[in-house]
Amino acid sequence: MEISMRISAVLAQAGDRVIGDVVAALDQRDQAHRRAPSQAERRHDVEHLFDLVRQCLQDGRADPIITASQQIAADRFAAGIDLADTQATFVVLEDVLWRHLSAELAADQQLETLRLVNTILGTGKDALARTYVALAQGGSGTGPADGTADALTGPPGSAGPPGSASTDGTAGTSGTGGTDAPVDAIVQTAVQGKVGIITLDDRQKRNAISARMANSIVAALASLRAQDMRTIVIRAAAGMSVWSSGHDISELPQGRRDPLGYDDPLEGLLRAIRTFPAPVVAMVHGTVWGGALDLVLSCDLVIADETASFAITPANLGLPYNTTGLLHFVGRLPINLIKEMFFTAAPLDAQKAKEWMVVNHLVASGELEAATLELARIMATKSPMAMAVIKEQLRVLTDYQPIAAQVYERLQGLRRQAYDSSDYLEGLRAFAEKRQPIFRGT
């Protein structure tokens, strides 16, 4: 309890700053992608959630956030608000809390702090997802949270009914049969034992990662977590030759704003995959472009067939990639390969991807699904707590690179010059007009 008391003391002093940062981050997110609630409503919601976190720390139990999250979910479901939007406050608060707490606590206290914050808010997100699932299936959504850890002594469990939540753009199924999806669903979920399968199915846009696509995948992850899935497989729909065409270019800002800011939906999706407390496997048939390669590298394992190729293409658009995204590549690939891929934007074929360890296993196309599901089933039989902790340890060890504030500010200044440039606008125009860009270096 000593660390809980220390965290509570820090939060008591930093409360106003934390709440202000969360409200500002949510305002920026909503300004870019959807209609925002009033400032008063937003601040009230953030303050309420912040107070619940403090209460859980003081009580040493997660009961307060479970009950409150069930009620929040019921209210938002009745209002027609999808799960991804409902969970946004939890996700942003978790990130802001970690930034404030890591700056105030000693290094030997930070890992336990991260675990406590993730446990409390993760339990709340699980309760939200379970309630959405139950309500979507015609239940009350307010039953006991069986399987959820109510004490802060370990990672939150997550048990729930079979099937998955139907959210904006997401269709749910259980078992191995076909999906009963709305015609406009672009993400589908299925369950095979303890393996959850997320299928990207936006054929019109070649699985471009739009805000809707990204938020639907995040919602699918939350729903499958609520069903106690031990391994997740992300794949493209059968018959697609493009796994994903990357970030939806039509949603990028037209200059004067960071195109890959912290609150970009793709960035939120990458964080959701990297922090998901179970293995996430990318099953790749077809080509992977741009930001979709960042998504693939954010998965824990990659299994591909001979049709796969991988390209990172921001230089084709004049788009300065963000530092966080570059760290994802640095953590996986040799620096000379990273430079060649970014500087040429040329695809890496399946065989070279295997040689450079972009993919764990390269199998024949006819064996891809069976090989992926077999590996997923094997992992699903292992200790979920051990895997969750090991995954988080590896993420922390590879993600947290020390960098001086002035160096970071210099890098951001260089990026700002690039995304405010005429070259960036030329790249976007050329893409929309389906022609080669003419870059002038200005």
**Phi, psi torsion values for 168, nearest 5 degrees:** -60, 110
Which of 132, 196, 321, 424 is labelled catalytic? Answer: 321
C-alpha separations of 23 from 9, 16, 97, 102, 217 in Å: 22, 11, 13, 20, 24
Q: What is the DSSP string of 247-306?
A: B-GGGS--SSS-TT-TTSHHHHHHHHHHH-SS-EEEEE-SEEETHHHHHHHHSSEEEE-T
Tokens of 213: 């696509």
| Residues 228, 160 contacting (CB under 8 angstroms) | yes
Residue of 33, 122, 124, 247 marked catalytic: 247
Could you confirm whether 132 is annotated as catalytic?
no
Dist CA 153 CA 362 (whole Å): 40
When computed from its CA atoms, the radius of gyration of the chain, rounded to whole angstroms, is: 21
Please name the residues in contact with 63: beta carbons below 8 A apart, sequence gap of 6 or more: 56, 150
212 Cβ contact partners less than 8 Å away, ≥ 6 residues apart: 168, 169, 186
Which strand (E) or helix (H) includes residue 206? none
Which one from 286, 291, 325, 427 is the annotated catalytic residue? 291
Structure tokens at 309: 């190729």
d(CA 209, CA 198): 14
Place of tokens 């902790």: 389
What 3-state class would DSSP assign to 148?
coil
Answer whether 194's CB lies under 8 Å from 380's CB: yes
Could you tell me whether strands 287-289 and 301-304 are parallel, antiparallel, or unpaired per DSSP bridges? Answer: unpaired
The yes-or-no answer on residue 48 being catalytic is: no
Q: How far apart are CA 341 and CA 209, in angstroms?
A: 20
285 is catalytic: no
Instruction: Please check whether residue 68 is in contact with residue 48, taking contact to mean a CB–CB distance below 8 angstroms.
Output: yes
Amino acid (one-letter) located at 100: H
Residues designated as active site? 247, 291, 321
